[in-house]
């Protein structure tokens, strides 16, 4: 036999929620039933099976017990993804379970990720109104009526269960027919496995018993006989209390008389001797299997929710297998997120090796359990040994489909036109990181391609992989794990790995850059804002560590900022900060001090502008002490020299200082613009003069310098990549445009026919060269922020122009259509529709809106004269016929909205931009000056046109003599291996000190103290709630003992009096002694 019917129904007049049910035979195979629930009902595979059994009749639970039971049961199901299996009827313990799930669902409806599966297995023949389940109209669900008043001996289904299996054996009104199928189904599910990472965990089953009678006792006994742990809720009554009272006794101490006394106090109905003996044997067996029995007492001190008792029952059962099963206990603790259980395991006498924790470490990472990850690290797990290519591949192939990296991977695959799966996921991640971290750094990850097949199930991605050439050991495993956590948006895990990573300042900036760039692509505003917040936190970590480093050693801190990081793609700290637009970091005092030193080169930063300028114009002055040189730090075993030792070295150090090179270039550029302007306005002849040829030569040297900047690979990043970075820079684009226009202008001016056109092109090109001056001003603390304001305001203008265009076009077209008839000349249409309304904004009121100002001599009646506009609509005698009142109204409305409203809106936008930038003036200037300093650090000392000499020297040395150029790279230093390790070790010490101080400040903060106080208050309240009932229970127990003693004394006295009366020592009437108090 098999499944009869399956369908859906709703409780009429109770709830609109659609529930699923299946009517099955008693001998249906459990595998078929389990398959139906997964395939047709789309139920997830459970991580735990909670079989709740107990009294089928309504009973009252104490408020505290009901609260702990309800919260704990639902918490266990929600946190573990468990199924709850009950009898499914609206009575007894099944009703309590349903109410617990209902209360939880109502209170957390807004953020419950997954519905709790509550499966009711009930007898079909004992259901009231069961015929309603077979009545349905079309595809509508059936309507079931909950009718407790008229149900009689039958029962109704519970309204708060989600699924029902109704067992039909053909009987009517018979209970218990579902027990066998329920037992088989639970056993079959317990034999299935759940895969988590590298784990294949069998689905655990726990029996939870409340109250109940003989059927409940049989269920508990049968479950424990099949090695299923059982949690008995003490205080719920009847069987549960009987087992709880006898649980601490030995099996031999449980006698029939003791059992009889126990049952008489818990049950109202009498028990025969045969029943007492049967109950005694079964409870002996139950108590004898103590490793499978857990008593939950809500009134005990420190009592927690029942979910802890369920977990303890599983752990207790697994502990019976010995220490070899501790990894299973850890797995349960991780799956249930119970950190204290794991701590108890590690505090035991069991011995383990760190490699034994690798599998549970993977599980903790996959399930995002940062507390467990930290615990495993504290217990000896070394990330250098743990993280292997196989582990990293497993992590990337267990990413959730809702994660950021999953979407990025699929987007990357679409862009690269690759198959839409996660084949070679780590390899593709390296390419994604290359784009996120920008062109200044190489990919910080290097993975070989692998052969793998990926499938997507239940929101998780699983892949079977065969490595093809992955090295046995990763070079920087902690960095790779940190990147995995960041790309998964797992902030707590990322901070843990960052705290153990190398080159932590660059690492924090890299994480900030990745999150800031990904946040722009995330559509969820809340997630995007959270990622931006995390990016700021990582930037704050970098600033904090750098501050700690600067306190200890300023010179070493400067090395941290400029050393080449082999961990993070051979970039530097400064370049990573610039690429990630981390303005707060770039504004740090240590960074700015370094940039200032680099800007001044070997010169002292205390030199004034006038003294430097005088030495530039007349260099012998530098030997008089008018300028000073910076003290040069040298090894401690050599004598310090505060200044260069000879005149030649002074000259070299002075003229190679970036600040001097900058001043020379500014002077030369102003001279270039003066020469350009002189030629355009005064000396622009048919035959070029010697001044114009000098201009051509000057432009050629500028072109050579731009060519050097675009292709000369000083940082070993490749000529193609260097050229791409050059083109991406806005000011370089301006330079290319200026040189291109100059070339076009020169070609045109050398051709007689296009001589004047060439002059126009060169005039426009001169404006672009003047515009280039703004880049030079960026170094100024006063003018630099003003340039930023100007750029922001230009963006405001472009957005404003769209609004303005609406009013200009609407007014211009309306006025033109009203006043002029069929104007066909496009340039005059543009003049009247766009240009004249635009000029109106600046006060030039058009006269053609007034009929009385019409003058036929100022216009062309037919529109044939190209130099005159067409006359307005008139009668031919000089009288305009268009409605003057309408054009005036249109003009007034246009001036009102465009000239007053929109222009003032633009002013308000400018004011907001100004105030916003003004508040961050210093920060913006500090960030912007880096690019200019970097540019002039790599420039040759001589300015154009003399720069051609440096270019010739470079060509001869590099391409002819094949000698290293030895270019100046003050913003990038390559350290040898020993110095590199020493620097990173010192940085790690500073990081640890910074984190220690932060933790100390956090523990002493007001918020943290309030939280600690709140926890202590909660503990006190819990103890008070428990302890105030303890004296009452003690009094009740002592009164019961006194009653027993008095009853025994009464019986003894009565026996003595009767015996004495029979011997003739008493009166004829024997007094009756009451046995009741």
The DSSP secondary structure of 696-729, one letter per residue, reads HHHHHHHHHHHHHHHH--TTSS-HHHHHHHHHHS
Nearest to 217 by CA among 182, 251, 263, 171: 263
Q: What distance in Å separates the CA atoms of residue 311 and residue 345, rounded to the nearest whole number?
A: 13
Q: How confident is the model at residue 259 (pLDDT cuts 50, 70, 90)?
A: confident
More confident call, 876 vs 40 = 40
pLDDT of 1022: 60
Q: What distance in Å separates the CA atoms of residue 726 and residue 712, rounded to the nearest whole number?
A: 11
Q: Is the pLDDT of residue 809 over 60?
A: yes
Query: Element (H or E) spanning 973, and its range?
Result: none
Residue 184 near residue 223, CB atoms below 8 Å: no
pLDDT of 593: 93
pLDDT, tens digit, 9 for 90 and up, residues 184-214: 898 899 888 877 655 677 888 999 999 888 8
Q: What distance in Å separates the CA atoms of residue 748 and residue 727, rounded to the nearest whole number?
A: 26
On average, the pLDDT of the chain sits at 82
What distance, in Å, lies between the first and last C-alpha atoms of the chain?
Answer: 62
Cα angle at 701 between 698 and 705, to 5 degrees?
140
What is the distance, to the nearest Å, from the Cα of residue 276 to the centroid of all Cα atoms in its chain? 61
Residue 873 near residue 821, CB atoms below 8 Å: yes
Which is it for strands 19-25 and 163-168: parallel, antiparallel or unpaired? Answer: parallel
Q: How confident is the model at residue 947 (pLDDT cuts 50, 70, 90)?
A: very high
Residue 545 near residue 508, CB atoms below 8 Å: yes
pLDDT of 110: 40
Q: Model-level pTM?
A: 0.76
The DSSP secondary-structure symbol of 416 reads T
Q: How confident is the model at residue 453 (pLDDT cuts 50, 70, 90)?
A: very low
- Quickly count: other Cβ atoms within 10 Å of residue 1031's Cβ: 9
pLDDT, tens digit, 9 for 90 and up, residues 482-491: 999 998 889 9
Residue 591 near residue 600, CB atoms below 8 Å: no
Nearest to 157 by CA among 14, 48, 30: 14
Residue 852 near residue 888, CB atoms below 8 Å: no
Q: Is the peptide bond before 596 cis (omega within 30 degrees of 0)?
A: no
In sequence order, the 6+-apart residues with CB closer than 8 A to the CB of 83 are: 43, 46, 48, 49, 50, 77, 117, 118, 119, 189
Q: Does the CA dihedral 840-846-849-852 come out positive or negative?
A: positive
Q: What's the mean pLDDT in 165-176?
A: 88
Helices (H), 751-825: 755-771, 773-777, 783-819
pLDDT, tens digit, 9 for 90 and up, residues 529-564: 989 999 999 999 999 999 999 999 999 999 999 999
Return the bridge partners of 21, or none: 7, 164
pLDDT of 175: 86
Q: Mean pLDDT check: name the lowest of 54-68, 447-461, 713-727.
A: 447-461
Torsion, Cα of 356, 359, 362, 368 (10° steps):
-90
Q: What percent of the chain has pLDDT over 90?
A: 25
Residue 832 near residue 810, CB atoms below 8 Å: no
Q: Mean pLDDT check: name the lowest of 398-412, 442-456, 790-804.
A: 442-456
Q: What distance in Å separates the CA atoms of residue 232 and residue 113, rounded to the nearest whole number?
A: 30
- Alpha-carbon distance values, 89 to 147, 176, 1015, 1025 (Å): 12, 13, 39, 33
pLDDT, tens digit, 9 for 90 and up, residues 1027-1066: 555 555 566 667 777 877 787 788 778 888 777 777 766 6
pLDDT, tens digit, 9 for 90 and up, residues 596-634: 999 998 898 888 889 999 999 888 888 888 888 876 554
Structure tokens at 763: 């005039």
712 φψ region: left (φ > 0), alpha (ψ -120 to 50), beta (else): beta
Which is it for strands 205-210 and 49-54: parallel, antiparallel or unpaired? Answer: parallel
The DSSP secondary-structure symbol of 629 reads B
Q: Is the pLDDT of residue 451 over 60?
A: no
pLDDT, tens digit, 9 for 90 and up, residues 6-56: 888 998 878 788 899 999 998 899 999 999 998 899 888 888 899 999 887
Q: Mean pLDDT check: name the lowest of 570-584, 759-773, 1040-1054.
A: 1040-1054
pLDDT of 1069: 57
Q: How confident is the model at residue 794 (pLDDT cuts 50, 70, 90)?
A: confident
Backbone angles phi, psi at 429, to 5 degrees: -60, -40
Q: What distance in Å separates the CA atoms of residue 296 and residue 240, rounded to the nearest whole number?
A: 10
Nearest to 464 by CA among 452, 476, 472, 455: 452
Identify which of 59-68, 330-339, 676-685, 810-819 has the greatest average pLDDT.
Answer: 676-685
pLDDT, tens digit, 9 for 90 and up, residues 587-601: 999 999 999 999 998
pLDDT of 1035: 67
Return the bridge partners of 54, or none: 210
Residue 206 near residue 334, CB atoms below 8 Å: no
Nearest to 529 by CA among 516, 512, 542, 513: 516
């Amino acid at each position: 036999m098999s499944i009869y019917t399956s369908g859906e129904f709703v409780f009429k007049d109770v709830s609109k929620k659609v529930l699923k049910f299946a009517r099955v035979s008693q001998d249906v195979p459990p595998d078929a039933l389990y398959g139906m629930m997964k395939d047709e009902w789309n139920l997830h595979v459970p991580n735990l099976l909670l079989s709740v059994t107990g009294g089928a009749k309504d009973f009252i639970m104490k408020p505290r017990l009901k609260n702990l039971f309800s919260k704990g049961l639902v918490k266990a199901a929600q946190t573990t993804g468990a199924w709850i299996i009950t009898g499914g009827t609206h009575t007894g313990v099944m009703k309590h379970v349903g109410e617990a799930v209902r209360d939880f669902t109502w209170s957390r409806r807004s953020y419950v990720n997954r519905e709790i599966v509550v499966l009711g297995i009930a007898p079909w023949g004992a259901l009231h109104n069961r015929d309603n389940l077979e009545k349905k109209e079309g595809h509508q669900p059936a309507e079931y009526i909950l009718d407790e008043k008229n149900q009689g001996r039958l029962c109704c289904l519970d309204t708060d269960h989600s699924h029902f299996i109704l067992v039909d054996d053909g009987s009517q009104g018979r209970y218990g027919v579902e027990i066998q199928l329920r037992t088989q189904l639970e056993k079959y599910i317990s034999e299935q496995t759940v895969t988590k990472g590298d784990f294949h965990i069998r689905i655990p089953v726990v029996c939870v018993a409340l109250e109940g009678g003989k059927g409940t006792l049989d269920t508990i006994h049968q479950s424990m006989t099949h090695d299923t742990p059982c949690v008995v809720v003490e205080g719920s009554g009847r069987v549960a209390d009987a087992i709880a009272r006898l649980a601490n006794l030995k099996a031999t101490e449980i006698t029939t008389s003791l059992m009889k006394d126990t049952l008489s106090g818990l049950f109202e109905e009498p028990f025969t001797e045969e029943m007492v003996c049967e109950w005694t044997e079964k409870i002996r067996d139950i108590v004898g299997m103590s490793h499978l029995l857990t008593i939950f007492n809500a009134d005990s001190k420190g009592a927690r929710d029942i979910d802890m008792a369920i977990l303890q029952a599983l752990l207790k059962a697994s502990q019976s297998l010995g220490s070899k099963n501790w990894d299973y206990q850890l797995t349960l603790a991780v799956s249930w997120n119970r950190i204290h259980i794991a701590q108890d395991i590690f505090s035991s006498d069991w011995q383990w090796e760190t490699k034994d924790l690798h599998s549970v470490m993977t599980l903790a990472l996959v399930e995002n359990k940062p507390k467990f990850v930290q615990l495993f690290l504290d217990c000896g797990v070394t990330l250098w040994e743990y993280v292997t290519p196989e582990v990293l591949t497993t992590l990337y192939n267990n990413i959730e489909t809702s994660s950021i990296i999953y979407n990025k991977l699929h987007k990357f695959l679409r862009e690269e036109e690759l198959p839409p799966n996660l084949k070679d996921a780590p390899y593709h991640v390296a390419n994604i990181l290359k784009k996120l971290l920008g062109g200044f750094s190489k990919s910080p990850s290097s993975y070989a391609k692998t052969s793998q097949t990926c499938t997507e199930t239940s929101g998780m991605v699983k892949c079977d992989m065969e490595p093809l050439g992955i090295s046995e050991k990763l070079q920087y495993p902690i960095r790779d794990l940190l990147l995995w956590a960041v790309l998964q948006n797992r902030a707590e895990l990322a901070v843990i790995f960052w705290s153990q990573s190398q080159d932590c300042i660059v690492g924090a900036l890299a994480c900030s850059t990745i999150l800031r760039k990904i946040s722009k692509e995330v559509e969820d505003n809340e997630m995007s804002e959270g990622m931006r917040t995390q990016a700021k936190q990582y930037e704050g970590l970098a600033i904090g560590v750098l501050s700690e480093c600067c306190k200890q050693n300023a010179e070493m801190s400067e090395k941290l900022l400029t050393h080449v990081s082999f961990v993070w793609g051979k970039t530097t700290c400064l370049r990573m900060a610039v690429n990630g637009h981390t303005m707060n970091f770039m504004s740090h005092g240590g960074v700015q001090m370094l940039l200032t030193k680099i800007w001044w080169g070997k010169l002292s930063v205390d030199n004034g502008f006038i003294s430097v300028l005088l030495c530039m114009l007349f260099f012998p002055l530098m030997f008089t002490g008018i300028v000073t040189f910076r003290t040069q730090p040298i090894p401690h075993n050599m004598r310090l020299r505060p200044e260069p030792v000879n005149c030649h070295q002074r000259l070299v150090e002075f003229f190679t200082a970036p600040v001097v090179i900058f001043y020379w270039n500014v002077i030369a550029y102003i001279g270039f613009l003066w020469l350009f302007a002189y030629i355009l306005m005064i000396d622009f002849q048919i035959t070029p003069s010697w001044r114009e040829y000098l201009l051509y030569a000057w432009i050629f040297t500028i072109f050579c310098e731009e060519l050097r900047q675009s292709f000369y690979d000083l940082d070993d990043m490749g000529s193609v990549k260097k050229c791409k970075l050059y083109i991406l820079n806005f000011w370089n684009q301006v330079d290319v445009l200026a040189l291109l226009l100059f070339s076009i202008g020169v070609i045109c001016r050398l051709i007689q026919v296009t001589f004047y056109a060439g002059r126009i092109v060169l005039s426009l090109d001169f404006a672009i060269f003047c515009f280039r001056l703004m880049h030079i001003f960026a170094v100024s603390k006063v003018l630099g922020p003003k340039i930023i304001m100007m750029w922001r305001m230009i963006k405001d203008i472009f957005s404003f122009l769209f609004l303005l265009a609406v009013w200009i076009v609407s007014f211009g077209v309306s006025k033109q259509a009203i006043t002029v008839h069929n104007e066909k000349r496009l340039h005059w249409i543009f003049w009247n529709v766009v240009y004249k309304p635009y000029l109106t904004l600046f006060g030039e009121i058009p006269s053609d809106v007034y009929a009385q100002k019409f003058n036929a001599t100022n216009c062309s009646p037919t529109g044939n004269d190209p130099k005159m506009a067409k006359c307005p609509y008139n009668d031919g005698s000089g009288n305009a016929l268009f409605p003057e009142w309408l054009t005036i109204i249109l003009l007034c409305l246009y001036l009102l909205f465009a000239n007053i409203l929109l222009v003032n809106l633009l002013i308000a936008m400018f004011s907001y931009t100004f105030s916003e930038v003004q508040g961050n003036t210093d920060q913006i200037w500090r960030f912007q000056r880096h690019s200019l300093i970097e540019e002039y650090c790599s420039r040759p000392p001589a300015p154009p046109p003399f720069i051609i000499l440096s270019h010739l020297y470079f060509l001869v040395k590099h391409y002819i003599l094949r000698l290293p150029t030895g270019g100046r790279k003050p913003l990038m230093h390559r350290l040898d291996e020993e110095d590199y390790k020493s620097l990173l070790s010192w940085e790690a010490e500073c990081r640890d000190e910074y984190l220690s101080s932060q933790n100390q400040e956090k523990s002493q903060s007001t918020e943290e103290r309030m939280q600690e106080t709140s926890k202590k208050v909660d503990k006190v309240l819990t103890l008070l709630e428990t302890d105030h009932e303890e004296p009452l229970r003690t009094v009740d127990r002592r009164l019961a003992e006194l009653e027993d003693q008095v009853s025994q004394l009464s019986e003894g006295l009565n026996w003595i009096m009767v015996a004495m009366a029979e011997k003739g020592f008493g009166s004829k009437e024997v007094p009756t002694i009451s046995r009741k108090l």
